[in-house]
Structure 1
Amino acid sequence: MRWTTPRTRGVKLLLRSVVSLALLAALMHAVGWSNVGRTLTGADPAWAALGGALALLANTACAWRWRALVRWLRHEVPWPWAWVAYLRGVALNAVLPGATVGGDVWRAWALQRTGLDWPHASASVVLDRLSGLWGLALLGGGCAVAALLADAAALRGVQPGGTPGPWAAALGVAVVALAWLPRALLRGGVAPTGGRHRWWGWWATLAQHEPARHWRQQLLASVGAQAVTVAALWAAGQAVGLSLAWWWLAPAAVPIFVAAALPVGMGGWGTREAASAAVLALLDVPPAQAVGMSLLFGAYALLQAPLGLLPLPRQPGSA
Structure 2
Amino acid sequence: MTEKHTTRRVLSVVLRVGISVALFFLLIWWLPSFDAGQLWPDFNSATPFWLIGALMLTVIGNMAATARWYEVAIALGLEVKPRRMFSHYMAGMFISNFVPTTVGGDVLRISRLSNDTGDGPHSFASVLLERLSGWIVLPVFTLLGLALNEELRGLGAPSRVAAITAGVTLLALGLILLLVGNQWFGRWVSRRNGWVRFVNGLHMGIDELRAKPRDTGRVLVTAFIYQAIMLAAAGCAAKVVGINGLGPTELMAFIPAVLIIQVLPVGLGGLGVREGFLVLFLRDLGVIDERAIAMGLLLYFLTVAGSLVGLPALVFGGRHWQRASRSQQRD
1:317 deviates by 4.5
Tell me the equivalent position of 1:82: 85
Q: 1:246 to 1:40 in 2, by over 3 A?
A: farther
Q: Tell me if the contact between 1:51 and 1:233 (Cα under 8 Å) persists in the aligned partners.
A: yes
Tell me the equivalent position of 1:6: 6
- AA matched with 2:251: L
Rounded Cα–Cα distance in structure 2 between residues aligned with 1:247 and 1:309: 35
Q: Tell me if the contact between 1:73 and 1:206 (Cα under 8 Å) persists in the aligned partners.
A: no
1:244 deviates by 1.2
1:40 deviates by 7.7
Q: 1:192 to 1:298 in 2, by over 3 A?
A: closer
1:18 deviates by 1.9
Q: Tell me if the contact between 1:158 and 1:282 (Cα under 8 Å) persists in the aligned partners.
A: no
Tell me the equivalent position of 1:207: 207
Matched, 1:318 2:320: no
Matched position secondary structure for 2:116: coil
Q: 1:96 to 1:27 in 2, by over 3 A?
A: farther
Q: 1:154 to 1:136 in 2, by over 3 A?
A: closer
Task: State TM-score, norm by structure 1.
Answer: 0.81
Alignment of 1:1-319 (within 5 A): 5-28=5-28, 30=31, 31-36=34-39, 38-39=40-41, 44-98=47-101, 100-147=102-149, 152-158=150-156, 189-190=182-183, 193-194=186-187, 196-197=190-191, 198=197, 199-208=199-208, 210-242=211-243, 243-310=245-312, 311-312=316-317, 314=321, 317-319=325-327
1:214-240 deviation line (CA, Å, top 9, x unaligned): 221121111111111111111101222
Rounded Cα–Cα distance in structure 1 between residues aligned with 2:218 and 2:263: 24
Matched position secondary structure for 1:114: helix
Q: How many residues align?
A: 301
1:259 deviates by 2.5
Rounded Cα–Cα distance in structure 2 between residues aligned with 1:240 and 1:300: 13
Q: Tell me if the contact between 2:180 and 2:202 (Cα under 8 Å) persists in the aligned partners.
A: no
1:305 deviates by 3.0
Task: State TM-score, norm by structure 2.
Answer: 0.78
Structure 1: runs of 5+ lacking an equivalent:
161-166
Q: 1:318 to 1:68 in 2, by over 3 A?
A: farther
Instruction: Compute the RMSD of aligned alpha carbons.
Output: 3.5
Q: Tell me if the contact between 1:138 and 1:223 (Cα under 8 Å) persists in the aligned partners.
A: no
Q: Tell me if the contact between 2:128 and 2:202 (Cα under 8 Å) persists in the aligned partners.
A: no
Structure 2: runs of 5+ lacking an equivalent:
192-196
